């Protein structure tokens, strides 16, 4: 019994760490999302029995890919017996049986999968949800909260996108250099959303999901090697600079620590150095965009030895440039927070309330949390309590909830 529990724990650990990579490889081999997912789950089911008998293999991921592939072959053979026109199944079987799997392909399969999910044949509103579901294993509910949509709407988009990939036989590959630029915007957006879900999980007991943010940075590095575009450099820099603060963002108890209260000795200086160098490269190109500018803002924070030494004037100026080129209520909210630091809480509060008065960000808990914090600083305790309660009702993340509850307790 103890041995069975040990094997089950090992299988669960591999599933947590490797399942999305295994799924990506099986999708490449099988050319079908649903068939690949079924094959992967069968492989994990078989692993519990086989690993107990034969021991855990040296390369669990390769073992699971191979097992899933052979289970799919068996399934296709069974189907071929009953199909009236089995030619396409015969071709699929031939491709599967002749396919070779090597470590290099296993490493790159998630990048291939991202480009497949971001193919221009798919609608823009389906590309990101499909990628977050298939590459990162986010639930439809988590994706729906991130996009302020209903789970049913997100599920429908994902189903349609899978069908489109299958019916249109969209290739599972990284596009050619000539095709890359037109495909890049969607891919960058997806990678950054993956990072954000890791940097600040949309729900759950943990503030962060290190596996997702690390995977996003890995994908960013792969993309940089493939296409050293200024915005690729900017995105990688942004993720490194934000990721450098990961250890300082929560206490030993898992509670949220605000930026100006963080222990900056915990910030990863190697990531900061690399991120700042990438920012400089991106800005020197004069072809920078939204990610490079956000990375420049993160670099200003990273270079300040203390919160008091932060150059808020430069940060506000960078937000002004960002808003001129890429207007967004979230960017405007971030600028309002910077204004509050530079010009005082009253100025920042006016900017936040102007956004909310336009009916924007009403479902975004950080907007209400920012309003509450500024009201608290100004001594408007009743307004602060009201805004904190609104924010509390909108967040699904336990550390954020505890932080807001502490603020409400302090206000009485």
Strands 396-397 and 203-204, bridge-based pairing: parallel
Percentage of the chain exceeding pLDDT 90: 45
Nearest partner of 237 among 196, 195, 279, judged by Cα: 279
Lowest mean pLDDT among 32-46, 145-159, 268-282: 145-159
Q: How many residues does the chain have?
A: 412
User: Cβ of 31: how many Cβ atoms within 10 Å?
Assistant: 18
Q: Which range has highest mean pLDDT (33-47, 69-83, 355-369)?
A: 355-369
pLDDT at 172: 80
* CA 133 remoteness from chain centre: 10
- What is the gyration radius of the CA atoms in the chain, in angstroms? 24
Tell me the angle at which helices 180-199 and 124-134 cross, rounded to the nearest 10 degrees. Answer: 50
Q: Which residue would you say has higher pLDDT here, 108 or 335?
A: 335
Can you give the pTM of this predicted structure?
0.75
Q: Which range has highest mean pLDDT (8-22, 118-132, 232-246)?
A: 232-246
SS3 64: helix
Confidence of residue 190 (pLDDT cuts 50, 70, 90): confident
Confidence of residue 83 (pLDDT cuts 50, 70, 90): low
Percentage of the chain exceeding pLDDT 70: 90
Confidence of residue 152 (pLDDT cuts 50, 70, 90): very high
What gap in Å lies between CA 212 and CA 37, rounded to an integer?
Answer: 20
Cβ within 8 Å of residue 20, ≥6 positions away: 110, 134, 135, 136, 137, 215
pLDDT of 282 strictly over 50? yes
What gap in Å lies between CA 109 and CA 104, rounded to an integer?
Answer: 9
Confidence of residue 84 (pLDDT cuts 50, 70, 90): very low
Lowest mean pLDDT among 15-24, 174-183, 262-271, 350-359: 174-183
The stretch 153-166 carries a mean pLDDT of 92
What gap in Å lies between CA 86 and CA 360, rounded to an integer?
Answer: 54
What gap in Å lies between CA 366 and CA 157, rounded to an integer?
Answer: 27
Distances (CA, A) of 224 to 37, 74, 183, 214, 344: 29, 39, 14, 15, 40
pLDDT digits over 299-337, tens only?
999 999 999 999 999 999 999 999 999 999 999 999 999
Tell me the average pLDDT of the chain. Answer: 86
The stretch 205-230 carries a mean pLDDT of 81
DSSP string covering 180-207:
HHHHHHHHHHHHHHHHHHHHS-SEES-S
Q: What is the dihedral of CA 244, 246, 249, 253, to 10 degrees?
A: -150
The stretch 133-140 carries a mean pLDDT of 83
The stretch 367-384 carries a mean pLDDT of 96
The stretch 396-404 carries a mean pLDDT of 89
What gap in Å lies between CA 346 and CA 350, rounded to an integer?
Answer: 6
DSSP string covering 307-343:
GGG--HHHHHHHHHHHHHHS--HHHHHHHHHHHHHHH
Lowest mean pLDDT among 28-42, 89-103, 234-248, 368-382: 89-103
The stretch 86-94 carries a mean pLDDT of 50
What gap in Å lies between CA 50 and CA 57, rounded to an integer?
Answer: 10
pLDDT of 177 strictly over 90? no
pLDDT at 35: 86
* CA 67 remoteness from chain centre: 29
The stretch 196-220 carries a mean pLDDT of 78
pLDDT of 80 strictly over 90? no
Residue 250, φ and ψ in degrees, nearest 5: -140, 155
Which of 101-106's residues contact partners 24+ apart within 8 Å by CB, and which partners? Answer: 101/25, 101/29, 101/62, 101/65, 101/66, 101/69, 103/62, 105/25, 105/28, 106/21, 106/25, 106/61, 106/62, 106/65
Nearest partner of 356 among 370, 345, 344, 346, judged by Cα: 370
Domains in the chain: ranges and CATH: 1-101 (1.10.1740), 325-412 (1.25.40.10)
């Amino acid at each position: 019994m103890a041995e069975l529990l040990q094997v089950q724990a090992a299988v669960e650990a591999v599933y947590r760490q490797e399942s999305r990579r295994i799924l990506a490889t099986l999708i490449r081999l099988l050319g079908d999302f649903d068939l690949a997912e079924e094959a992967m789950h069968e492989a994990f089911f078989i692993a519990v029995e086989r690993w107990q008998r034969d021991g855990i293999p040296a390369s669990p991921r390769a073992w699971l890919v191979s097992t899933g592939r052979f289970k799919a072959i068996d399934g296709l053979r069974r189907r071929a017996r009953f199909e009236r026109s089995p030619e396409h199944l015969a071709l699929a079987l031939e491709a599967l049986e002749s396919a070779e799997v090597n470590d290099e392909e296993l490493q790159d399969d998630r990048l291939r999968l991202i480009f497949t999910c971001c193919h221009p044949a798919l609608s823009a509103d389906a590309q990101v949800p499909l990628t977050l579901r298939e590459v990162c294993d986010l639930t439809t509910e988590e994706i729906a909260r991130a996009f302020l949509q209903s789970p049913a709407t997100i599920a429908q988009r994902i189903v349609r996108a899978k069908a489109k990939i299958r019916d249109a036989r969209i290739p599972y590959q990284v596009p050619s250099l000539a095709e890359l630029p037109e495909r890049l915007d969607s891919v960058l957006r997806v990678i950054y959303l993956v990072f954000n879900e890791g940097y600040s999980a949309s729900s759950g007991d943990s503030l962060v999901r290190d596996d997702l943010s690390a995977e996003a940075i890995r994908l960013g590095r792969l993309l940089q090697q493939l296409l050293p575009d200024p915005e690729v450099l900017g995105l990688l820099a942004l993720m490194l600079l934000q990721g450098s603060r990961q250890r300082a963002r929560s206490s030993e108890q898992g509670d949220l620590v605000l930026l100006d209260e963080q222990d900056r000795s915990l910030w990863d200086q190697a990531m900061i150095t690399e991120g700042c160098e990438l920012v400089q490269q991106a800005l020197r190109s004069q072809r920078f965009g939204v990610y490079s500018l956000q990375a420049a803002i993160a670099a200003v924070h990273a270079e300040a030895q203390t919160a008091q030494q932060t150059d808020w004037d430069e940060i506000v100026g960078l937000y002004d440039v960002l808003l001129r080129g890429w207007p967004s209520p979230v960017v405007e909210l971030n600028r309002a927070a910077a204004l509050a630091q530079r010009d005082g809480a009253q100025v920042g509060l006016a900017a936040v309330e102007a956004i909310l008065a336009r009916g924007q960000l009403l479902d975004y808990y950080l907007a209400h949390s920012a309003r509450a914090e500024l009201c608290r600083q100004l001594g408007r305790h009743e307004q602060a309590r009201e805004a904190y309660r609104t924010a509390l009702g909108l967040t699904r993340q336990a550390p954020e909830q505890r932080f807001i509850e502490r603020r409400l307790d302090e206000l009485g």
